[in-house]
Amino acid sequence: MRTYINLKVVLTICVSLLYASLLSAQKKNKKAPTHKSYADSLMGAFRNSVYGRIYNPAFWSKSYMPTLTILKISINKNGKVTDIRFSDSADTLFVKTFANMPKRNDDLSTLEKYALAKSYKDISILIPINYEPNYRAHRSFDYNNLQLLMRFDKKEFEGKALISPPLLVGVVADGGS
């Protein structure tokens, strides 16, 4: 039996998470440092790898278009990562540039260690990504754009999923002038 996620509910949650993260990022965090688990460290390493590949001047010079997308990591019943891909809402230049950027880490190995540490099997991890290469460039999102957030290879997402906190990448591509 498959579990289907209501698209409107998922989109509402994703957009709410993005806005909440944007607002909380503006506040200074004065909490005492916390110790992260092994699994949290692995996910942190993966997120840093993704951030490093996105936050790259080679892409900034080619695109000024903001991208709101979801990175889906599919984990099979054996805990192995079978697929890592962006939702159909991602700009094609963004996806192509990301794929061609050199990796600093073995992301697949890191994610499989993470899945093992968390005992994840037969599930997807969804990471909302908001990429803003130029704050002055505005992109409007209509319902069709939002539907693409939960489509991967022109198929609507279905199955069990965990939604990770969003990854926010904001840069000023033109040096702020």
Residue-level pLDDT at 148: 86
Amino acid, res. 120: Y
Phi/psi class of residue 105: alpha, beta or left (left: φ > 0; alpha: ψ in -120 to 50)?
beta
Residue-level pLDDT at 99: 81
Residue-level pLDDT at 1: 43
- Cα 146–Cα 67–Cα 54 angle in degrees, nearest 5: 140
Residue-level pLDDT at 55: 76
Which residues of the chain, if any, have pLDDT below 70?
1-35, 56-65, 104, 133-143, 171-177
Burial class (CB in 10 A: 0-12, 13-18, 19+), 175: exposed
Residue-level pLDDT at 76: 96
Residue-level pLDDT at 124: 96
Mean of pLDDT over the chain: 76
pTM: 0.72
Amino acid, res. 40: D
**Strands of the chain, DSSP E:** 67-75, 81-86, 123-132, 151-152, 155-156, 161-163, 167-170
pLDDT tens for 5-52 read 555 555 556 555 555 554 444 444 445 456 679 988 899 888 888 888
DSSP 105: S
Domain boundaries, the chain: 38-170
Residues sharing a CB contact under 8 Å with residue 1, sequence separation 6 or more, in sequence order:
none
Nearest to 47 by CA among 12, 28, 73: 73
